[in-house]
Amino acid sequence: MCHHKMQGASKMNPKESAAFITSLAVDVKINPIGIKKVASEISHAIESGQFKPTNMMLHAYPLPVSVDASSIEWLFVGDALNFSFWALEEDAHYSVELHGVKYTGYMALCAAITKAIEAGIPITSSKYYANISQEEVNKIFISSTGEPIPMLEERWRILQECGKILNEKFDGAFLNCLEQANQNAQKLLNLIVTNFPAFRDEAVFEGRTVSLYKRAQILVADIWGLFKGQGLGSFADIDTITMFADYRVPQSLVHFGALEYSEKLNKMLTANHEFKNGDREEVEIRGCSIHAVELIREELGARSVYVTINEEKTLPLNSAMIDYFLWEFRRRFAQKLAVIPYHKVRCIYY
pLDDT in tens, 86-102: 887 767 789 999 999 99
Q: CB–CB of 178/101 below 8 Å?
A: no
For the stretch 125-146, pLDDT in tens is: 999 999 999 999 999 999 999 9
Identify the pLDDT of residue 63: 67
Q: Are strands 202-205 and 344-345 parallel, antiparallel or unpaired?
A: unpaired
Residue 177: pLDDT band by 50, 70, 90 thresholds?
A: very high
Q: Is the pLDDT of residue 6 over 70?
A: no
Q: Which is more confident, 228 or 3?
A: 228
Chain mean pLDDT for the chain: 92
Residue 4's pLDDT is what? 39
Nearest CA to 216 out of 234, 237, 238, 241 is that of 241
pLDDT in tens, 225-247: 888 888 999 999 999 999 999 99
b/e per residue 162-182 (b: at least 16 CB within 10 A): bbebbeeebebbbbebbeebe
Return the higher-pLDDT residue of 227 and 123: 123
pLDDT tens digits, one per residue of 281-298: 999 999 999 999 999 999
What is residue 53's predicted lDDT score, i.e. its pLDDT?
78
Give the pLDDT score at 274: 95
- The tens digit of pLDDT for each residue in 29-80 reads 999 999 999 999 999 999 998 888 776 655 556 766 678 899 999 999 999 9
208 phi and psi, to 5 degrees? -120, 145
pLDDT score recorded for residue 61:
62
User: Which residue in 78, 150, 162 sits closest to 112, CA to CA?
Assistant: 78
Q: What is the pLDDT of residue 57?
A: 57
Q: What local confidence, expressed as pLDDT, does residue 49 receive? A: 87
Q: Which of 79, 201, 246, 323 is catalytic?
A: 246
Q: Which of 275, 255, 267 is nearest to 346 (CA)?
A: 275
pTM, 2 dp: 0.93
pLDDT grade for 186, boundaries at 50, 70 and 90: very high
Q: Is 246 a catalytic residue?
A: yes
